[in-house]
A and B are shown apart, each in its own frame.
Chain A
Amino acid sequence: DQQVKQNSPSLSVQEGRISILNCDYTNSMFDYFLWYKKYPAEGPTFLISISSIKDKNEDGRFTVFLNKSAKHLSLHIVPSQPGDSAVYFCAASAKTGANNLFFGTGTRLTVIP
């Protein structure tokens, strides 16, 4: 039962253009959403998060948008750089209960120079 879904396993974007990574979730109790970036042979590193009381959070080139009614969030990277090439994981949690962190299956982003 996959509560967090990333339906695009891969994405290729030209350097300088926008990268948009998408994520859907099924559990309406989720109230905190995160994006992690993972390079080969390293653990996931935290990138950006958003609370369910917001619909947008921005940090430099990275912006996360949350659409609660659609149970959908997206990560925008503008402009994309070759160093952004990695696997991106969407994650979600709910402060009620155990506050587990559930992950999607990841999207491999390739930024072409």
Chain B
Amino acid sequence: EAGVAQSPRYKIIEKRQSVAFWCNPISGHATLYWYQQILGQGPKLLIQFQNNGVVDDSQLPKDRFSAERLKGVDSTLKIQPAKLEDSAVYLCASRARPRGTVNTEAFFGQGTRLTVV
């Protein structure tokens, strides 16, 4: 079974530039998450999709970050314009629906390391 695919692996941009990250989740997984992980911290949820609808984007800085999940499969996360504090690893994860009373684990991609200079 293929895992969660993310690209690019690394990206260096100057502040005020824009950048986009792509994620292809595990086939059949309805839930897709984007997390931001700053060095030394745990992953912080940015946005959660259920199929192609947004379930939770309360932590997404909407003045500069946007995300979409077309047709309920692939997803892109965009930052425009980037700030120095956006330097982090951006992780995409997907998760199957809970099976009755049993919840499920999320599977992560390798992440995209963004450096804003």
Give A contacts to B, CB under 8 Å: 4, 6, 31-32, 34, 36, 41-46, 49, 51, 53, 89, 93, 95, 98-106
Contacts and interface: CB of A to CB of B under 8 A. Distances in A.
B98 A95 contact: yes
Contact of B102 (A42, A44, A51, A101): A51
Given A101-B33, A101-B95, 12 more contacts: A6-B42, A32-B103, A42-B111, A43-B6, A43-B91, A43-B93, A89-B42, A89-B43, A98-B55, A99-B95, A101-B45, A101-B93
B91 A51 contact: no
Interface residues of B, number: 29
B110 interface: yes
Nearest to A34: B105
A102 B41 CA distance: 12
Contacts of B87: none
B83 to A, nearest CB: 22
| For the complex of A and B, 9 pairs with smallest distance between CB atoms | A43-B108, A32-B103, A103-B42, A46-B105, A105-B42, A98-B56, A103-B43, A98-B55, A43-B110
Interface string B1-14: 00010100000000
A29 B11 CA distance: 38
Contacts of A53: 101
B43 A49 contact: no
Contacts of B33: 100-101
